[in-house]
Structure 1
Amino acid sequence: MRPASHWPKAPAFALLLLNISYSSAFRLTSMNVPAVADPRGNLELDCRFDMGTEELYAVKWYKDEQEFFRYMPGQDPSIMYFPVIGVSVVRRRSGCDNNYCKIELDKLSRRFSGGAFRCELSSEAPSFKLASETRNVTVAAVPKEKPKIEGLNAHYVEGDVLSANCTSDFGDPPPTLRWFVDGQSTVPVSRPSYAERESDGLMAQSIFLNMVVTNVSKSTLEIGCEASVPGVPFAPQLTAAVVGLMSSQEAGDNEKFQLWYSPFNSGITSPASSYLSCLIFSTILINVLIWT
């Protein structure tokens, strides 16, 4: 005869574990909030949650600890809105159910609409459980396009002056630009200038580069211009251009070659020039035939 077991029967024990698992499943599973919100568009916030065996009592949204939205499925009306500076809820595009809640905000202000957004859910009696997450949002009109470099030549000779201008796309706050020469940061020759777009008040920055080409040990030089937005989680945008380099001797040899080669390609139609070109070409051809 088997001794009596002190443990619950297997099915009952498994059921007990299952109930504990379901009860502890009450949690906020995800919260999606962008780090940067563009005031030229809307801001979408959402959170998903698992109630387990609990019953949802309320979902609340806060900005900087001020409640602006509440969903209570057990009440009528089930949704309530509260005035908070910088928060404008698009009501037709916002809503919640028992495991998901989405909020859309419009009329964003860079000064007032950014901050700490929190999604908080609570369960019904008797447990009254709470779960929440918070995300920070910065409102900024970041540049949509990379900076533009203008004024560069295709090639430079040792001693030439290299001049170029770089202009950022429009943004708020204004983007900050800096030059790079072969990957090394370079100070611009003058203070940045700014331009404001009348339609939306966004600002663009321009900086000027002026340098003497001295190091021609390489055949090329890379000129880069990078745009960043201080205080905003935004990946810098880099525009780069490669120009050719020649030493003074190489430039002189190239000029001599061009002077020698030009009669054959200049398109000169005067009789004397045509005769001279034919004579030179005939002499070269005769020498080639003799030596071959």
Structure 2
Amino acid sequence: MAACVTTKVLPLVALCCLVDGGWAMKWVRFSVPTWASRGEDVRLTCDYDLEGEQLYSVKWYKAGREFYRYVPGDWPPQQSFSLHGVQVDEVRSNHKMVTLRKVNLDADGRYKCEVLTEAPLFKTLVRSSIMHVVELPRGVPQVTGGQSEYRLGDTVNLTCSAPRSIPPASLTWYINNQEAPQDYLVSYPSHVDHEGRVEAKLGLLFRAERWHFVEDNMTLRCSASIHSLYEKEVLHSGIVVEPLVPALLEDQISGAPTLVCAGITACFILLFL
């Protein structure tokens, strides 16, 4: 009687192992690009290991709406559905990947892959991820304003502009490789064109002081970036010529030590008692 009970229990244990143990189906690779450029082809990957189970279907969804399925038991096994912003290239798609042709801004959103095995277990794998579609700037940032020579006390006034893009490029000003203080920055209103593109613009405005120069040279750098897809920069340099005369006289009157520069490199300290 005991031997009979053991015989009936073993299949149940084996079934549990199939569902929850080492024989359960699993992901090999799931990949949806985080960023994609408008107009390029994009590949979505849904690779899995069924561990001996038979595939019933693979379905892809965007924002909850199905746009592609692969069902081995159907003919043809591939089928794509019309969805605004999503164009499936069936020739370059199969049961483990989907290729989207020339994505546009409407392709931005969450994508989900659903893998289902045959009866009787109907095991399911589901993964999703968000893809952002951007339009990169065409060209490099430009700097306007500024001058090649500065006297101490002069106003430094420059504007950095990055070509139109979606989203607008993030701009950062640096003074001698140090990020410029916030109170030096000048913000400008954004202008959006008929395609939704925005030109990024950021000003730099401050009074030139001795500490802004390294060996009588000041290097200003504007960096433009859109995540890791676009990174460009432009430089502007100027040299110090001589201190502003009114500032020099003021220091003399106050009796403070005064830094005097003759030309570019010759500087000495005068102590007024």
2:30 is aligned with 1:31: yes
> Quick check: 1:178–1:185 contact (8 Å CA) kept in 2?
no
Task: State yes or no: 1:191 paired with 2:200.
Answer: no
Give CA deviations for 1:83-125 in whole Å, capped at 9, x if unaligned. 22222112222222xxxx1112134332x32111011111111
Q: Which residue of 1 aligns with 2:110?
A: 116
**Residue 70 (1) aligns with residue 69 (2):** yes
- How is 1:88-167 mapped onto 2 (pairs within 5 angstroms)? 88-96=87-95, 101-110=96-105, 112-143=106-137, 147-167=141-161
**Bigger share in helix:** 1
The one-letter amino acid of 2:208's match is: V
| Partner Cα separation in structure 2 for residue 29 and residue 151 of structure 1 | 55
> Which of 211, 215, 219 is matched with 2:206 structurally?
211
Shift of 1:247: 5.3
**TM-score w.r.t. structure 1 length?**
0.65
What is the alpha-carbon distance in structure 2 between the residues aligned to residue 205 and residue 251 of structure 1? Answer: 40
Offset at 1:178? 4.7
Deviations, residues 120-153 of structure 1 (Å, cap 9, x unaligned): 1111111110001100111221346653334444
Unpaired runs of at least 5, structure 1: 1-7, 9-15, 258-292
1:6-27 deviation line (CA, Å, top 9, x unaligned): xx9xxxxxxx7xx856632x11
Mean alpha-carbon deviation: is it higher for 154-163 or for 217-226?
A: 217-226
Q: Which runs of 5+ in 2 are unaligned?
A: 1-5, 7-13, 244-257, 267-273
Q: Secondary structure at the match of 1:46?
A: strand
The answer as to whether partners of 1:90 and 1:106 remain within 8 angstroms in 2 is yes
Distance 1:185 1:153 in 2: 22
In the superposition, relative to structure 1, how do residues 214 and 92 fare at CA in structure 2: closer, same or farther (>3 Å)? same
Go from structure 1 to structure 2 and tell me whether the alpha carbon gap of 1:93 and 1:38 turns closer, same or farther (over 3 Å shift): same
Amino acid at match of 2:46: C
Shift of 1:43: 2.2
Call closer, same or farther: CA 1:190–1:60 in 2, change over 3 Å: closer
TM-score (norm 2): 0.69
Higher strand share: 2
Q: Secondary structure of 1:92's partner? A: helix
Aligned mates of 1:91, 1:250 — CA distance in 2: 74
Q: Which residue of the partner structure matches residue 4 of structure 1?
A: none
Residue deviations 1:41-61 (CA, integer Å, cap 9, x gap): 122211110011111111110
Larger radius of gyration: 1
Partner of 1:12: none
Distance 1:253 1:145 in 2: 41
Matched, 1:227 2:224: yes
* Count of aligned pairs between the two proteins: 232
Percent identity reads 25
Aligned partners of 2:78 and 2:90 also within 8 Å: no
Distance 1:195 1:90, change over 3 A: same
The CA distance in 2 between the partners of 1:120 and 1:59, in whole Å, is: 6
In the alignment, which residue of structure 2 is the partner of 1:253?
A: 262
> Whole-Å Cα distance in 2 between the matches of residues 158 and 104 of structure 1?
59
1:51 aligns with 2:25: no
